A and B are shown apart, each in its own frame.
Chain A
Amino acid sequence: MRLEPREQAPLGVMVLAPLGAFAASLVFAALLVLWSGADALSTFGLVIKGAAGSSFAILETLTRATPLIFTGLAAAVAFRAKLWNIGGEGQFYLAAVMTVVLGTGLLKLPAPLLVPMLLIGGAMAGAVALLGPAFLKTRFGVDEVVTTLLLNFIIILFVSLLLEGPLKDPMGLGWPQSSKVIPEAALPKLIQGKRLHLGFVIAIVTAFAVWIVNTRMAFGFEMRAVGHNARAAKFLGMPVNTVMLKTAMLSGGLAGLAGVSEVAGLKGNLTLDLSPGFGYAGIVVAMLAFLHPLGVIAAAIFVAGVFVGADAMSRSAGVPSYIADVMVATSLLTMVVAIMFTRYRVLWR
């Protein structure tokens, strides 16, 4: 068997490969559902109903998609430049810490000033969290995959330390949680009485902004060039290390925005279960989107739908909600295979 690069994939492959990937993960999930003793078709029906069957379900899916758009963009931007940022989870939490520090009364500003401050502060916290590993990569050649992964654990322990110490809510009845942010810091709800908040709009706008940076600005070109062939980029006189560090700040900042949005838009305070793995799910979102910023929006809504739908299904049908995690993981694996088929032709000889 040999793989031969294609110039341009035929339309059929471009359409069939992702569909095949999706079908394969669906079949696998169906087998798992059958094993648990439930009926696969009705279970999937319940998942779809739970994700998109009512206006409540749709709003819930979009609310869950909001942080995933940010972490998905973070991964997409970094992976394009071959900066393997697996630290979205840590960057998310560090930004959430920053939001709570600034937003619980330290800054007494009206909402139109305070909210941008929180977004900037959180993005900076996320950027700093990735800058360390990126510096170690450019300066010492330390693999950033391992350092960002290890840093996730360090940051989460740091958050735990803060929540049992300086940031502990005095009114929290001993639970490790922070105080609520002040009303001026809260992102307004998009619809009165519903959970969907301004963070969703900011996420969409951010995705378009990243798309413009990617396609219309010199920095976007530099990131792609470094990712495609760092040595050639260096030969052309590109400051490869600087591009890497700038990419790290952008990527970390994007993951940070997810943390701000979850605290200021949804939960109001910081707890240790603020993120059910948004950082890791962002990697899947980015891959499902072929690393395209606008594709990230669609992929994030899809992944969020799987999670929200599976939660609802699990409550009524009793199939463990971990089926969602399995489906998301298998779609990642099948999708990377599908992407390969669009780039290479398989020759059997």
Chain B
Amino acid sequence: MDAIEIFLTTTLWAAAVRIAAPYVFGTLGELICERAGVLNLGIEGIMTAGAFAGWYTVYAGGDLWTGVLVAALTGAAFGLLHGVLVVPLGLSQHVVGIGITLFASSLTYYSYRVLFPKVTSPPRIVPFEPFAVPYLSEISFFGEVLFHQTPLTYLSFILVGIAAYVLYRTPLGLAVRTVGENPAAVEAQGIDVTLLRIGAVMVGSAVMAIGGAFLTMSAFNAFFFEMVNGRGWICIALVVFGSWRPGKALLGALLFALFDAYQLRLQQLAGQYVPYQLFLMLPFVLSILALIVMSRRAGYPRALMVPYRKGER
């Protein structure tokens, strides 16, 4: 099989959709925060915390969807902390974001060690199984690629649809988009800028955390240290790549995952000639390239990272 033929295999495309899910959640979550004008660098830590919280809930006897809910609530809690620090207090979103990542991941690792002091191999759970959607999964190619996935993957697509609808078709979405561009205009409408922004950050963080939970509850069946492994940072690049639009962000995440799935297969093909680290670098290099290409056209939300102080101009 040569390097081009890989693209003709259904498994590649199915793998791309599977790999995409955590990126879709993460990118969507970050997008919601940034659309409201708040950069959330806590994403890497929030995904780690979500991965652990969801997995542990199931390990302790909860069912899988309860795990997803607990992961989302955990994410929202860290989102609340981030929101309170950067919105009403107006602290540096860079510094607080890094702080949230350090805090959430160290708290997660501490909790893991307290709850499992002596385990050497990580305990396992029964994760989400792939679910073939009736009728749709029988379509040739597309059925195999899109409709033989785990429920969390379907949830990620549905959330993109909901987010796009809410952002562009509802008054709430209009308010969120405006608060990221011109908070004073939102204030003039009698809407509380602080509450709206904190709310958006909480919702976004909850979505990110589900992305983390996908790793422990769908992609694998256990929690490992360092398992998020930079996915959060890549999502921040994907938000820029997707020009802060849910649909484009979904496309970006899928494209990125396709590339990732492809390099995994290429690695098997060319692994003996090229060091494997070069393949592992590719996603990060690709993210930086995407940032450079998109930077000229990037339509940043105009109030991104600008704290809002009432009455101040």
Q: Residues of A with Cβ closer than 8 Å to B?
A: 1-3, 32, 35-36, 79, 84, 86, 136, 140-143, 145-147, 149-151, 153-154, 157-158, 160-161, 164-165, 280, 283-284, 287, 318, 320, 322-323, 325-326, 328-330, 332-333, 336-337, 340
Pick the contact of B281: A157, A164, A336 (CB < 8 A). Answer: A157
For the complex of A and B, list the 9 residue pairs with the smallest distance between their C-beta atoms, beginning with the closest: A325-B106, A320-B113, A329-B102, A329-B103, A322-B110, A161-B277, A157-B277, A332-B99, A140-B295
Decide yes or no whether B233 CB sits under 8 A from chain A: yes
Pick the contact of A340: B81, B90, B94, B310 (CB < 8 A). Answer: B90
Q: Is the interface of B mostly helix, strand, loop or mixed?
A: helix
Q: Are A329 and B89 in contact (CB under 8 A)?
A: no
Pick the contact of B230: A141, A153, A328 (CB < 8 A). Answer: A153
Q: Which residues of B contact A84 (CB under 8 A)?
A: 94
Decide yes or no whether B117 CB sits under 8 A from chain A: yes
Q: Are B295 and A161 in contact (CB under 8 A)?
A: no
Q: Are A336 and B85 in contact (CB under 8 A)?
A: yes
In Å, the complex CA distance between A283 and B95 comes to 8
In Å, the complex CA distance between A325 and B108 comes to 11
Supplied contacts A2-B309, A146-B233, A320-B109, 4 more A-B pairs, CB within 8 Å: A154-B285, A158-B281, A332-B103, A340-B90
Q: Are B102 and A141 in contact (CB under 8 A)?
A: no
> Could you tell me the distance in whole angstroms from the C-beta of B13 to the nearest C-beta in chain A?
26
Q: Which residues of B contact A2 (CB under 8 A)?
A: 309-311
Are A323 and B110 also in contact (CB < 8 A) when A161-B278, A337-B85 are?
yes
In Å, the complex CA distance between A320 and B280 comes to 31
Decide yes or no whether B287 CB sits under 8 A from chain A: yes
Q: Which residues of A contact B117 (CB under 8 A)?
A: 318, 320
Q: Which residues of B contact A3 (CB under 8 A)?
A: 89-90, 309
In Å, the complex CA distance between A35 and B117 comes to 13
> Could you tell me the distance in whole angstroms from the C-beta of B279 to the nearest C-beta in chain A?
9
Q: Which residues of A contact B311 (CB under 8 A)?
A: 2
In Å, the complex CA distance between A150 and B280 comes to 12
Q: Are A333 and B103 in contact (CB under 8 A)?
A: yes
In Å, the complex CA distance between A145 and B105 comes to 19
User: Which residues 79-135 of B have a CB within 8 angstroms of A?
Assistant: 81, 85, 88-92, 94-96, 98-100, 102-103, 105-107, 109-110, 113-114, 117
> Could you tell me the distance in whole angstroms from the C-beta of A301 to the nearest C-beta in chain B?
19
In Å, the complex CA distance between A160 and B281 comes to 11
In Å, the complex CA distance between A320 and B114 comes to 7
In Å, the complex CA distance between A75 and B85 comes to 21
Q: Are A86 and B98 in contact (CB under 8 A)?
A: yes
Pick the contact of B114: A35, A136, A143, A328 (CB < 8 A). Answer: A35
> Could you tell me the distance in whole angstroms from the C-beta of A9 to the nearest C-beta in chain B?
16
> Could you tell me the distance in whole angstroms from the C-beta of A13 to the nearest C-beta in chain B?
15
In Å, the complex CA distance between A154 and B311 comes to 45
Q: Are A280 and B281 in contact (CB under 8 A)?
A: no
Q: Are B102 and A150 in contact (CB under 8 A)?
A: no
> Could you tell me the distance in whole angstroms from the C-beta of B99 to the nearest C-beta in chain A?
4
**In the complex, what residue of chain B is closest to A161 when comparing beta carbons?**
B277
